[in-house]
Amino acid sequence: MSTTSTSIFSAELVGPAIEQSFRKLDPRELIRNPVLFVTAVVALLLTILLALGGEGLSVGFQVQLVIWLWLTVLFGTFAEALAEGRGRAQASSLRAAKGDLTAKLVLPKDAGCEIVPAAKLQRGQVVLVETGDLIPADGEVVEGVASVNEAAITGESAPVIREAGGDRSAVTAGTRVISDAIKVRVTQEPGQGFLDRMIALVEGAERQKTPNEIALTILLVGLTIIFLIAVATIPSFAAYAHGSIPVSELAALLITLIPTTIAALLSAIGIAGMDRLVRFNVLAKSGRAVEAAGDVDVLLLDKTGTITIGDRHASEFRPLRGVGLDDLAEAALLASLADETPEGRSIVVLAQRDHAIETRALPEGAEIIPFTAQTRISGVRLEEALIQKGAVDAVLRANPTAAETAAATELRRITDEIARAGMTPLAVAKDGKLLGVIALKDVIKAGVRERFAELRRMGIRTVMITGDNPLTAASIAAEAGVDDFLAEATPEDKLALIRSEQQGGKLVAMCGDGTNDAPALAQADVGVAMNTGTQAAREAGNMVDLDSDPTKLIEVVGLGKQLLMTRGALTTFSVANDVAKYFAIIPAMFVTLYPGLGVLNIMGLASPRSAILSAIIFNALVIPCLVPLALKGVRYKPMGAGQLLARNLSIYGLGGLVAPFIGIKAIDLAVSALHLA
């Protein structure tokens, strides 16, 4: 994880956050956090009461109460401001990339270019970007090829190729063209570009409450109402006992009981969760997507790059009976010379090095047949012959006459042998005659087996997606330890698999880059688009990985879980805290009515006033103490839900019960030593 480790309480963040925390006292903003709003109202009420006088309590005590109540509110707004500040710091580096861009707008009828500010660009307009220029807006390359440095958004300095057509046509505002020139059609509305939206999200300006956050807020409001009833009825109960309770004490009880701790930290947790993803170079388009990541049940992982080391290597030529090894090698070489994929190059290398085939270039007039996802065949048409190379079934389908011969039977046998050994067979045919098979070998990444075992313990199923035939896929799947595989996968198959998993109530995550991945990315509950992918793919997914590393899907799930766990842990802690606060305040409050109730003062707090003050101070101070936890998230290790629950319940549940007894007692000792009450 590429974490820029800035200290949480660094001065350049804390200063503005303090200023912001006062601005956030604006009731219109504060009402978004109902519990803090109630706290502020109570604080205001006590401030007015203090000014009016006549509570019959010492002024010093009341002043302290009022101060701590206001501090409770301010700590809450500070936590949110600090989280936003951290997000903004992250965003500012992104924004610097954007700067004040200008664009060379291509005028119609070859009238040349006009320089306009990038902010004025409209969707559909075409701009020219030349060597050294920054790309002014998100768009699609419509003409030309260029190498682009996308370090501004990915941090990766190696340039990438962007060209018209195909899967590498999307360009992002703020990246720099370092060679050649391209024409780009703008695909964004002004101010709505990819970078703009990312910055807004990271800064928290466009933050919307996620479904789970809304539900939690409702619970907190419900608890507040219940405690409001519990506290508001006390005066009348006290009147029955011929006594009265000062308003300040009731206010103190109310504020300590309502869940101020989690309410104060709730939005900070959400912002920090998004922020952690950004530091990880993954941009979520919504907080909802991050939450969904925690719920994922099925991970669709592309074999190549995620499970195996990117590229397969040709390891062997297996000619059919009656075909010379060199004939096969030469045909394979010719079919692969134009194939720029690592696989294609490895075939060339194998033929030239191990079989001493001298051919270095395609003859004049050769016509290259490019690979498509539909035909799954590539090759070359020479003057004298047509050479095809591709998936075995695809080659057989393309040559129906050959498919009926004994050669086809032998081909299938060899194919099965290769596949069972976990290698990928590629059939080669020349003029409709089957020549033999190229065996491509996959190398499984180190450590993936352990990762998948880990995921299984967490209850997440892994499905390997591959274009390989079922036998090869099965062999690799078994070696890598995935739970299931989808072989010979077309984009349609992927979409169908996602739908059927979702039908069974599962949440599915996948990553993809091509335009043909877009429907599946959109259908998946968590769709991580690679930044190198097409604009369509990036629009369809709900997350974008700036590093274009498909392995990250696993970490994204972890980050989603961590966000939810942090919320749950702090809620549990907050609720469990109330028990100790009761034992501080109830005896203090009622001891004048029934002196016997003093036995409930099990902490042995010095005096009723000191008890109340200590509880309210603890209630306020616990917020800043928990800010680091809220921003960093609780420690997350992959394990089964039962273990996780036992672990977190003992830390945050039991801890939440015990910690305030210790904390309040300690504060009480300090308060009485300093004669504050």
Partner 1 sequence: MTIQGWAMIALFAAIVIGLARPVGAWLFALYEGRRTPLHAMLGPVERGFYRLAGIDPNKEQGWRAYALHMLLFQLAALLFTYAVLRLQDVLPLNPRHLPGVGSDGAFNTAISFTTNTNWQWYSGEAAMSNLSQMLALTLHNFLSAATGIAIAFALFRGFARQKAGSIGNFWADVTRITLYLLLPICLIYALFLIASGVPQTFAASIDAMTLEGAKQTIALGPVAGQEAIKMLGTNGGGFFNANSAHPFENPTALTDFVEIVSILAIGSGLTWCFAKAVGNTKQGWAILAAMMTLLIAGIAVTYWQEAAGNPILHHLGVPGGNMEGKEVRFGIAASALFSVVTTAASCGAVNAMHDSFTALGGMIPLFNIQLGEIVIGGVGAGIYGFLLFAILAVFVAGLMVGRTPEYVGKKIESREVKLAVLAIAVLPLCILGFSALAAVLPAGLAGPLNKGPHGFSEILYAFSSATGNNGSAFAGLSAGTPFYNGLLGAAMWIGRFFMIVPILAIAGSLAAKKYTPETAGSFPTTGLLWVGLLIGIILIFGGLTFLPSLALGPIADHLAMIHGQTF
Give the active site residues: 302
Stretch that binds partner 1, among 10-18, 140-148, 275-283, 585-593 (CB under 8 A): 585-593
596 touches partner 1 (CB under 8 A): yes
Distances (CA, A) of 37 to 34, 72, 81, 255, 288: 5, 11, 16, 11, 25
> Residue 611: which region, alpha, beta or left (left: phi > 0; alpha: psi -120 to 50)?
alpha
443 touches partner 1 (CB under 8 A): no
Under 8 Å CB-to-CB from 457, ≥6 apart: which residues? Answer: 638, 639, 640
Compute the least distance from the CB of residue 225 to partner 1, in Å.
6
| Interacting residue with partner 1 among 187, 515, 648, 672 (CB under 8 A) | 648
Compute the least distance from the CB of residue 4 to partner 1, in Å.
25
238 touches partner 1 (CB under 8 A): yes
x/- mask, partner 1, residues 618-647, rule CB under 8 A, reads ------------------x---xxx-xxx-
| Interacting residue with partner 1 among 575, 605, 615, 623 (CB under 8 A) | 575
In the complex with partner 1, the residue whose CB is nearer, 155 or 211, is 211
| Interacting residue with partner 1 among 572, 614, 619, 672 (CB under 8 A) | 572
Stretch that binds partner 1, among 235-243, 433-441, 491-499, 624-632 (CB under 8 A): 235-243
Stretch that binds partner 1, among 107-115, 196-204, 225-233, 363-371 (CB under 8 A): 225-233
247 touches partner 1 (CB under 8 A): no
In the complex with partner 1, the residue whose CB is nearer, 146 or 630, is 630
Whether the CB-CB separation of 213 and 266 falls below 8 Å is answered with yes
| Interacting residue with partner 1 among 158, 356, 599, 674 (CB under 8 A) | 599
What's the CA gap between 25 and 48, in Å, rounded?
Answer: 17
255 touches partner 1 (CB under 8 A): no
44 touches partner 1 (CB under 8 A): no
Compute the least distance from the CB of residue 459 to partner 1, in Å.
3
Structure tokens given for 198: 């990312």
Residue for token pair 């991945």: 517
Whether the CB-CB separation of 667 and 610 falls below 8 Å is answered with no
What's the CA gap between 627 and 215, in Å, rounded?
Answer: 22
Sheet with 139-143, strands from edge to edge, namely 113-117, 102-106, 126-129, 182-186, 139-143, 170-171
Stretch that binds partner 1, among 91-99, 330-338, 572-580, 604-612 (CB under 8 A): 572-580
| Interacting residue with partner 1 among 576, 617, 626, 629 (CB under 8 A) | 576
x/- mask, partner 1, residues 502-531, rule CB under 8 A, reads --xxx-------------------------
Pairing of strands 461-465, 298-302: parallel
Under 8 Å CB-to-CB from 401, ≥6 apart: which residues? Answer: 432
What's the CA gap between 17 and 40, in Å, rounded?
Answer: 19
324 touches partner 1 (CB under 8 A): no
Structure tokens given for 412: 């299938």
571 touches partner 1 (CB under 8 A): yes
> Site size for partner 1, by CB under 8 A?
73
Compute the least distance from the CB of residue 255 to partner 1, in Å.
14
What's the CA gap between 613 and 64, in Å, rounded?
Answer: 8
What's the CA gap between 519 and 390, in Å, rounded?
Answer: 26
x/- mask, partner 1, residues 198-217, rule CB under 8 A, reads -------------xx-xxx-
Which candidate, 293, 311, 277, 197, places its Cα nearest to that of 510? Answer: 293
Which candidate, 464, 468, 467, 469, places its Cα nearest to that of 479? Answer: 464
Residue for token pair 């003057």: 383
397 touches partner 1 (CB under 8 A): no
542 touches partner 1 (CB under 8 A): no
| Interacting residue with partner 1 among 27, 60, 117, 459 (CB under 8 A) | 459
Which candidate, 238, 236, 133, places its Cα nearest to that of 177? Answer: 133
* Window 550-569: residues binding partner 1 (CB under 8 A): 560-562, 564-565, 567-569
